[in-house]
Each structure stands twice: as C-alpha cells, then as structure tokens.
Structure 1
Amino acid sequence: MPEGTDYAALIAGHDRVIKMINAGESGLPVLTQLLRLVQPAIGAASLAWVEFAPTGGRVIAATGAAEGTVGRPLPAADPATVCLLSGPPLRGVRVDRIPGTLADELARRGLRRMIVARAEIGGLTVGSLHALYPDGDPDDTSQHAVLGYVASCIAHMYGDQTGLPVHGDGPVVAALADGLAVVDREHHVRLWNPAAAQVTGRPAGEALNRPLPFPLPPPGQVLDHRLPDGRWLRLTSGELPGPGALRVVTFRDITDQQRRDHERDLFVAVTSHELRTPVTVIKGYADTLTDHWESLSDDDRRQAARIIGQRANELARLVDRLLTAATEDRPGGEPAAPFDLAEALRVAVGDLPADVRHRIVLDLPADLPKALGDRHSLATVLTELSTNAGKYSLPGTPIEVSATAKEGMVSFRVADRGIGIRPEHVERAFDRFWQGESGDRRRYPGAGLGLYLVRQIVEQQNGWVSLRPRVGGGTVAEVRLPRG
C-alpha cells in the first residue's frame, strides 16, 4: 500500500481514460477502467460502483477483492441500502456497522472498512462509489478527496447518458421511485430521499430531524393516508435490524388509484340502482301478460306491451350511456362538417320520447347560419338536454328550444320552467355520476350521466355547453358550436 495517495499514478491512469473516451468508448468499459486506475492510487483493496434504479441498487463494476460482487442486487428496502444512502455524501464506514448480510460477505473477503462517495445530479442519487480496505490505518483525507472527485466524474458520465445507466432506459433516476424515510424511536426523520420530497412537496431541509408528517403504520402493515391537500399516500413500514430502533417507511402517491377505485364503486352502485327500476317494470308487465293473458282485454294487453316497449327503450338508452361513460376516451365520431343546425334540431325533436316531444316549443330563425360539427351526435345532445328539462319540470309545461348566432358561433338553448338549478351547481352538474340529491331523499331518477356525455360530445366538436338559472324560474342549457 502506498504511503498516502499516489497522484502520479492517478494522473497517468486518468490520461488513459481520456484516450478511451476520445476513441469513442463509453459506459461500463470506461467506468471499469476508471475504478482500476483509482484503486492502487488510493491504496484500496478494491473499488465497487453501485448503480441505483427505482427498484434499488446493483453492483455493476468492481475491482480487486470485490470483483465477485458484480451483479449483486441491493434491494430498496434492504437495511444495507438504507444505511449506505444515509448520512453525508462522503464518509467512512466500518463494515461491521452495516446491517444485514452485506457486512458478512465483505468480512469474508478480509474487508473491514470503506469510504463511501454518493454520486448525485440535481439532488438525485445515481449511484455510490465504495473504496474497501482491510484493517489498517484510519482513512487518509486525500483518499476521501480523490474518491469524492471520482464520484462526481462518474455522475457527469450519467448526466451525459453516454452508455449509462446500464439498467433502465430513461433519464437519470433517484435511488428510489417511492418516497423513503428512516425514523428513530421518537418518529423523527433521519433520512428523507429525493422521491419523498417530490411526493410530499416537503424538501429534506424541512423534514430531517422533525416528526414524520403522517402516521407511522405498524411494521409489515399498509396504511392509506389522506394529506391535507386531498392527495392520498400508501404507507408501509418495517424495522431496521441492529441498534437504534430505526424504522424505514416507504410511501407513494395513490391519488389516481383512489379516484379510479371510487369511480368504479360509484359506477357499480349507480348501475345497479338505475337498472333495477326498468327491469322490474318490464318483468312485472311481462309476468302479467304471461299469467293473465286470457283475462286481459285487448286494451290492457296493448297498454302492457306499450309500457314494456317504453321501458325497454329507456333501458337501452341507459345501458348505452353507462357503457359510453365507462370509457375515459370516447371515440371521436364523424369528422366535423358544416350542417344546417335548424333542420337538424327539427329532425332531432321528432325522435324524442313522446312525453317530451309534445312539450317542445321551437323558435328557430330562418336565416340561422350553418354549424360546424357532427350532425348525427346532435340528436343525442338534444335528447339528453330535453329529457333532463322534462324530468325537472311539471308535466305539460313547455320546453323551449331556440337558436341564435353571434361572434363566430352558432348556439341553441333548451329552457324549462322547472325547479331550476343553484348557481353553485352549474358546473358540478356536468361531473360524471353527480346528482343534485343523494340517498333515499332523491326525488328524481337518473344515473347522473346525461350532462356529462353532452359536454364530452360538444367539446369534441370545439364547442362548449353551459347551464344557468332561467329568469322567472327553471333552467337554461346552452350549446355553442363553431360556424360552418
């Protein structure tokens, strides 16, 4: 072992690495050559480089007594991984103080102490460089300085992404994709990785040496916790072996998953509730016809068949809406084309359910410009808006359909004289499954899908739809489309 760092050998070896790079070599061969020249220059028994990816670390290059460790994984939750990522980015470590089986593996190779230098880019750990020594003199300050410098050189190699990282096909990642914290017996944070700062919005400076900012689940258990800003975290924890009673906590943002789970449960609940009524009515009248056909008059039979047909149409429409709303990305339909909005509205009114059609009052100007969009989807839009108006107004009251054009847009309105809409609900009414009333107090049936689908259809045609209270009572729904 040289007395101190052999700077002459270091400079000569560095020159060889530069020639490799100039010759077009990169990645692992250059990294391995760099370790081979640094090892004797700093008097180490071996050097090892650990690359970190979202799932943890892996030894990808090593020299000397540690060559047999190449390929060894260091899982994210492994106590040795947590230990090596803790503390200052450049420090000396006694091997016997590393928890887990790694210490035994190194001791069997006669390695008793190491210098660890973490390589970071923008606060993200990409790997760590380890100089390993047998029992001997305390660490030389020059050895620390050289190892820190070499680790920064390797970090630049990762930043350039010239053949590195070896594992993973994306940009440089932090040591862990999930947030990770190590806490002591008082639940004060001792380690806070970059992903933890990103997930929580709390930088390490605000988290270290302070209480964990969320509940600590029992070891081996999973806890879903809602943050004050409404986001959800999934937390797990485990004990770290060795003295100090430390706990490691991992967490990830599951807000999107919670939303999907909630919408799935809501979809099932709404579907079962809304399908039950028409199915019950159809079954009831079908049973009546089957069991009492001979005793029923022709008028009774026709009435039962009419109701079965009416309810079957409602059921088909409801199923269509449920299936459409269950898909986040609706098909785009026909390409946008100019069409006669007034004529399209007249045709669509003729296809409305009879109880709604008889209440429609049309007010369409003769000189209404053409609209640009999908004419066929207009029938669905008018059906949803008109049936909605009919549902929330008294039978027999008019439902007014009018149209106008201004400022490069063509619009039509569906107005009723019903219970109206509260100003705070004019946007929420377009949310999927939203109901103005809930539970057993609901007076008006429906799946809460009609207005949601209307907005989806209209906005796909570069238009927009809005609701507002009608002067004198009731609601006005207005659809605006580009001029054709």
Structure 2
Amino acid sequence: MPDRPDYAALTRGQIALLDRINSGEAGLAVLTQLVRLAQDVLGGRGAGFAEYSPGHGRVIAASGGCEHALGLRVERDDARLREGPRTLLVPITSLDEEFAGEIEGGDRILGTRCETGGLIVGFLYVSYSGDDPDPTTEHHAVLELLAANIGHMYGDQAGLPVHGDGPVVAALSDGLAIIDRHGVVQLWNPAAEQLTGRSAAEMLQRELHLPVPPPGQVLVHRLPSGRWLKVTAGDLPGTPAMRVVTFRDSTDQDRRHEDRDLFVAVTSHELRTPVTVIKGYADTLTNHWDSLGEDGRQEAVRVIGARAGELARLVDRLLSATSDDGEVGGSAAGPFDLVDGLRAAARNLPADLHRRLILDRLPAELPKAFGDRDSLATILTELATNADRYSAPDTEVEVTAAADDTTVTFRVADRGIGVKPEHVERAFERYWQGESADRGRNPGAGLGLYLVRRIVERQNGWVSLRPREGGGTVAEVRLPRA
C-alpha cells in the first residue's frame, strides 16, 4: 500500500463516474465502479459495499479479494459501525466470522458507514494485509469522500437501494415538508417533488396544498393525478412553531394481494399438469392392467413416481413461498459430495431440461460440502429452469464447480438475454420476474430464486447472480466446506 492515496487515480475515477452518471447510467453498475475505485485509490487488496436492509446487510458490490462475498448476508448490529468515528480500522477477526472468511489476502479492513438524510444505508470497506502499513488520515478522508458519493446516490434514488424492503427505502421514498404555523412550506424534499409533481421552486414559501392531520393520525388524500397519499404530521422537535408533514404513495397498497392472486393462478396451473398425468396413468393401470404387459406397467409406475416427486417439490414451493418467516423444509445438514449430488439432481430434471445441461466440466473430486444434500434437487431445478426461461432452446446451460479454503461452489451459466446489473438482487425478491423473450414457453410465478436464496442461506451459504462475459447469466451458489 502506498503511503498516500493515489490522487491522480481518484481524479480520473471521479470524472469517469460523472461521465457515466451524466450519460444516464445509475444504480449497481455505478456503485460497483465506485467500489473498484476505492480499492485502486487506497491501495487495498479488495473492497466491497454492504447495503443495509431490516435487521441485516448484504454485500451487493465487491472487487479484488472481497469478490467472493458477493451476495453474502452480513450482520449489521456492530455498534462500532453505527457510532463513534465515521471511519475505523478493525482486524478482520473482530468481524462476523463468515464475512471475515471470505476476504482473501487481508487481515484488516478500513470501513466507513454511508449515510443519507441521517440514515445509514450501508458500509463501504477496503481490506489490507499484514504486509501493508496502517492507512493514514488521508486514506480515511478519501474513503469518507467516496462514502459521501454513495450516500448522494442513495439520496437521489438513482437505481438505489437495490433491495426494495425496509425502513431505508420507505424513508427515502417518503415526501417530506416542513411548514410554519401558517402552513407555509419551508422545506420540500426531492421525494415530495416526485410524489406530487410540484418542484421545490413552486412550493417553497407557499401554503401547503395538502390537508394536514392532527398528530398521531393518518389522513388519506387523493391528488388530481389520481395518486393516493397517506399523510401524517407532527411537531418539529425543539421548534414548536414548525411542523413536519410526511406523505407516501398508497396507490399500490393492494399490490401484495394482487401478487398473491398471480402466484395462486400460476401455481394452480403448474400443479394441474402433474396431477393430471398421475391420475391418467393411475386410471390406465386400473383399467388396463392385463393388456399393458410388464413393460407397460413398469413405465406407468415410473412416470407416476417421477410426477409425484415433481408434485411434492411444487407443494413445498407453495408452502414455503406463502410464509414470510417460516423455514424452508429440508433434511438435517451434514457432509456430502457436491458433484455427486449435482449429477443425481440433474437426473431428476425433466428430460428436455436435462438435455441442455453440460455436466462434463465438473471436477472428478472436490472437498465435501456441509449442508442438505437433498436440497440440491430443488436448487438445481430452479436455477436450470431460470436459465431455460431466459435463453434460447438450443443453447447450452453449463454447470461447473470449485472449492477454496472455506467454501464449495457451483455455478449454473447460460447464454441467454443476460441480467441487468440493477436486477441481480431484485431477481431474488418474491414474485419479481425479469422480461423474457418467450415467457409463454416456460411461465413462472417469480418464486424460484427467492426460494433458492432461502434454502441456501438456511445452510449458512449464499447465492448471487452476475452477468456472464460474452452474454448470459451466471448463478453462483456457495456452501460451507465440511
């Protein structure tokens, strides 16, 4: 690590970021470039950014020796990250054990919280090895500058936050006005402009056009545009002559029920197919037992067994996906051979999907993984189905595997339409679906990746998506080594 930050690289990097933003780019792609810039300018072995959601964080951008942690869920209850100095240098051993294990070549991190509007939206960090001298006050200052850039991006809501849940998103999307005792607007935030269509220039020093409810009450108001707002108000602490008015869009408050209806409709369609096949073959066995012959009866029993397994997996998806807090069912965790488990899971795939999988690049041996071997059937089915949905029927879906000191990994890679950087985390949300060139060929309810993440994280692993070089998407699952 150099004695001073690379200010020339910082200048070039800032200009490149501004060029991308001015050209209309935003969100995760720009955030990832900023993380790489932090590593380059500060001479670290790696860098990363964890975005905060309710109760936890998740690594959504990383570079260098921190790349393995992409998609990893991390704890956010460390008081050092919320209080005291904005930047701090801490030994990796003092952090979450799983997170620390995925930082290659580093034993310390220099980190800083990223804030906007008084809210902590995440944590930016750079890792250093034992051979590197301690970062100087200049390194701390540059990291704070880059963190301020991230906070500004979140404040603009330009493709961020990546995750659509939690108080950070709600606070950033709430309209906020401060009015005096006469109802005249003294402050009008960007979200208020977006929600009402009225700019700060139009509203400042003018009477608020929204009704203001008494403290502790909620008032629903309809704008001329047809948008419904939920409005609340309260006194501004320390300034009794001022009031804070907040309002949020409630037009889509029934969206969850609509999503549930969509899920039930699509899942009902999926369930109907195996049930119809099972009943048909069972009726054939009952009515034509003697005429079928031994081979015919064996084939009917085989199809019934295969379809019953498919039906069981569909029912498990239904029960798991309709619960917000319940655990996804599974067997007890233990050591298992990942490659053998993947080959067995592939044999249970529908024939047309199995034919697309390329498994001959799997290694002959790997260290054993620790987890639920039986869950591989569900994980591989969902990842392969997702690859099938978003790629042409004649393209290959490649399955590979590898291991490092702490994890055993497998990847499912396609040559489909690819995943946009701003969608690599949204894809794991329940009911969310990307655009498919041929949705009708393989419809879904937007549950597959949501369930995969829940199943993998129950085994203390993590899963991530990323665009594939040359086109397509790579889904990567990491499980602990036994």
TM-score (norm 2): 0.43
TM-score (norm 1): 0.43
Say which one has the larger Rg: 1
Greater relative contact order (Cα < 8 A, sep 6+): 2
